[in-house]
Amino acid sequence: MDEAKSETLDILTRALTALRDNRLDSAESLGAKLLELSPRDPATHQLAATLALRRARYEEADRWARSCLALRPGHAPAMLIAGRAARATGDFAKAIAWFRAAGELVPEKAEAHFQLCLAQLEGGDPEARSTLERLLRQFPGEAEGWSLIGAALRDAGQLEAAEAAFARAAKASSDPAHGVNLGRIMLARGRHAEAAAALRRALTAAPDRLDALMPLAQALRQIGEPREARQHLQRLADAQPDKARVFYSLGLVCDDLRDWAGAIAAYGRCVELQPDMPEAHVNLGLALQQIGEWDGAVQAYRRAIVLRPDTFGRIAQALPSTAKGQLWLDIRKLRRSLGGP
């Protein structure tokens, strides 16, 4: 090997390592050197296409993929890059054509076939169903591919089919991410006990997965296990003290447990983080009302009505519902006292 080829190979190896490690600036710098040293090498064009795709420069990715194919016709990896670029820009017809061509060149490789199905699903192609059936026959154990299919079906509102895809991914791989996806889709379908079981398994396999905690807590609330739900939400609140929705959910569980002090603390933190959440102000008022803190409750109710006037109806119903509540016979007078229109 002569000196120039050796240098080119060394730079290419370093560039690919940088790309793998997501050091894109370094990879691009090395890629530019490669294009100077070896402008007709299809590998340098493929690298440039890959980098452009990672940078979301889709027209550039398409251009480099095509120049790679001009130098190396019938190169499936370049076709995949061109297809991904087209799919990212919403040109599903072009993406389908690229992925189909790549799949014909390497029928044994799963990626092209799963990408074809994704483009068909996103583009509303009626052939997506037959492609799905073929994937089931050819690649039943491709966990990552089935996870991508599940996400596409979920986004299309096809929740039953999405659950089947996520279940296949979870069965094919021990990666707990697939279990979390499966649990979430089960939760969305109202299958709360199954969702809790799937999410518990994922959390047992990977105790540090915070993304399992919120859906697990939601499922546990629905099946009547608020104490365990509170444990998971408290852990999430400790890890993410700046997430208003976490504290709102924690407040709901405290309500379930009639832990009014806990609910007040949780809703209070929620409205501190996100003051424009009217439902949190209403719930804070209800919790304060439960312990007889009437002035604080009225303040919370007033904030809720300012943010969203239609919360008045819920507040009017809630006022006499507790032992320390109030019954107002004149609704107009009540509305005025709360600052409503």
Interval 130-152 mean pLDDT:
96
- Residues 51-77 have pLDDT tens digits of 999 999 999 999 999 999 999 999 999
pLDDT at res. 2: 65
pLDDT at res. 240: 96
Domain boundaries, the chain: 226-341
Question: By mean pLDDT, which of 23-32, 95-104, 112-121, 320-329 is the weakest?
Answer: 320-329
* Tokens, residue 241: 């003290």
- Residues 196-226 have pLDDT tens digits of 999 999 999 999 999 999 999 999 999 999 9
* pLDDT level of residue 294 (50, 70, 90 thresholds): confident
Q: CATH second-level architecture of 226-341?
A: Alpha Horseshoe (1.25)
Interval 324-340 mean pLDDT:
52
Whole-number Å distance between alpha carbons of 289 and 319: 8
Q: Are 28 and 54 within 8 A, CB to CB?
A: no
Instruction: Give yes or no for residue 332 having a pLDDT over 80.
Output: no
The rounded mean pLDDT for the chain is 92
pLDDT at res. 320: 65
Interval 1-23 mean pLDDT:
84
Whole-number Å distance between alpha carbons of 38 and 60: 19
* pLDDT level of residue 330 (50, 70, 90 thresholds): very low
pLDDT at res. 8: 85
Interval 108-113 mean pLDDT:
96
Interval 316-323 mean pLDDT:
67
